[in-house]
Structure formats: structure tokens, C-alpha cells
Copies of this chain bind each other. A is one copy, B any other.
Amino acid sequence: MNIEHGSRILFTGDSITDAGRKRPVGEDAKDWLGKGYVCRIASILEAWQPGHGCRIQNTGIAGNTVRELQERWQEDVLDLKPDWLSLMIGINDCARGFGRPQIEEDRVSPELYRDSLERLLATIRPSLKGLVLLTPFYIDSSFQDPLRLELNLYAKHLKDLATRYDAVLVDTQAAFDRVLKQLHSSRLSQDRVHPNECGHLLLARAWLDAVGFEWHG
């Protein structure tokens, strides 16, 4: 694995990262990390490489867009002084425009998403040993769903930022798309946004592959 022994790894983001984690910081005990991909990653690391020595923390909060993340960036990211930061954000920024179209102030436009995210990354990248960025995703096999089309704009911006900020990129949408060729979307998520257990394992696998984890170690 490309992450150094004994690193402090912080995951943050929205409900998919949160997944019911403990407040104020999810850490250590498996269920304190939530029931999502973060806890799967921590468990797999421990079961496969019990001597990894890394410290894993989770400060995702359900319902967050980049706007809310910004407000708690100091407390929930900078103050924790991570060596590695793993960030997934964007589905709420985009989906609010479809789910609550009249409440315009709830939505974050792709441009605002890009600019806000860039400002956040700029504050922390220099002090990090590594950065992992996960694209937002929509678990729908149809390439024409309007929400999915719009979400591509956000993902595009995130990919650009990954290049500019030397991040490990996890293309979660591609990971889901591969499986969606064989399984209907209802098998991975009830609402196309929140993965079930299989979907979270799939995210964990994509993340671990991206950071060079050795499954047959």
C-alpha cells in the first residue's frame, strides 16, 4: 500500500461517508466509523495487515454539500492534522436542484462547487502526505438520466482538481458502471444515492485498489 505505516488517515464528506459514525469524530471501534465504506476499509486493513499502524478517522456528515463542509473545515479537517485526507462530496450539491427545485439556495452550482472545493484543498494540500479524491456517483445504468448528466459536470471538476492537486483519484462512477452492466441498480441501492452493503464494499475495493493495496499480501 502506498500509504505510510502509522499514518493518520481522515475521511470526510456527506452521508455516504458518515453512514452513522460517532460524534464528534468517528474513530477506532468499527461502528464508531459508521456502517459504510470507511468502516469496510478499516476492517479490511486490520484483517489483512494487522500491523499497518494507521489511525483512521471519519468526519463525514449526512446532507452536506461543499458549502456546509466549508463551514466546518477548520474544526473537522485542519484541526485533526491528518497525514492523508480522503474526500467525497458533491451528490447533494447536484441533487438538491432536482429534489427541491424551488429552494434554489439549497443547490450548489458546478462552478461554485469547483471554486469552493479548490479553496479547501489549497488550505490543506501542503501539509498532507497524500490526498484521495472520490468522484460523486449516481447508481443508475441509464446514461441519460438528467441528474446523472448534471452530476458529470461536478465529477469533471473534481477530476481536474485531482490532477492539479496531485491526488489519488477514485472514479467511483466507473466502479459502479462496471457492475451495473450485470446487475440492476436496485440491487446496489434503493434510491440510487445511498449504496447498500455490496455497494459500500465496492467503494472500499475501489479506494484500496487506488492506493495500491495488496489483496494477496
Contact check, A186 vs B197: say whether CB atoms are below 8 A apart: no
- Chain B, residue nearest A50 (CB): B182
Contact check, B147 vs A50: say whether CB atoms are below 8 A apart: no
Contact check, A183 vs B28: say whether CB atoms are below 8 A apart: no
Count of chain copies: 8
Interface string of A177-202 (1 = CB under 8 A from B): 00101111011001110001111011
Question: Chain A residues in contact with chain B, CB under 8 A?
Answer: 6, 27-28, 30-31, 39, 43-44, 46-48, 50-51, 53-56, 95, 98-103, 140-142, 144-147, 179, 181-184, 186-187, 190-192, 196-199, 201-202, 205, 215-216
Contact check, A190 vs B190: say whether CB atoms are below 8 A apart: yes
Contact check, A98 vs B142: say whether CB atoms are below 8 A apart: no
Contact check, A98 vs B184: say whether CB atoms are below 8 A apart: yes
Please measure, in the bound complex, the distance between the C-alpha atom of A155 and the C-alpha atom of B82, giving whole angstroms.
36
Question: Which of these, B146, B179, B201, B216, contacts A44 with CB under 8 Å?
Answer: B201
Contact check, B191 vs A47: say whether CB atoms are below 8 A apart: no
Known A28-B102, A30-B198, A47-B202; further 13 A-B contacts with Cβ < 8 A: A30-B196, A39-B197, A43-B197, A43-B201, A46-B179, A46-B198, A47-B179, A47-B201, A56-B102, A140-B142, A142-B144, A147-B184, A215-B215
Please measure, in the bound complex, the distance between the C-alpha atom of A44 and the C-alpha atom of B147, giving whole angstroms.
24
Contact check, A102 vs B197: say whether CB atoms are below 8 A apart: no
Selected A-B contacts with CB under 8 Å, 17 pairs: A6-B102, A30-B196, A39-B197, A43-B197, A43-B198, A43-B201, A44-B201, A46-B187, A50-B183, A53-B101, A98-B186, A98-B187, A140-B142, A141-B146, A144-B144, A190-B191, A215-B215
Q: Which residues of B contact A56 (CB under 8 A)?
A: 102
Contact check, B142 vs A145: say whether CB atoms are below 8 A apart: yes
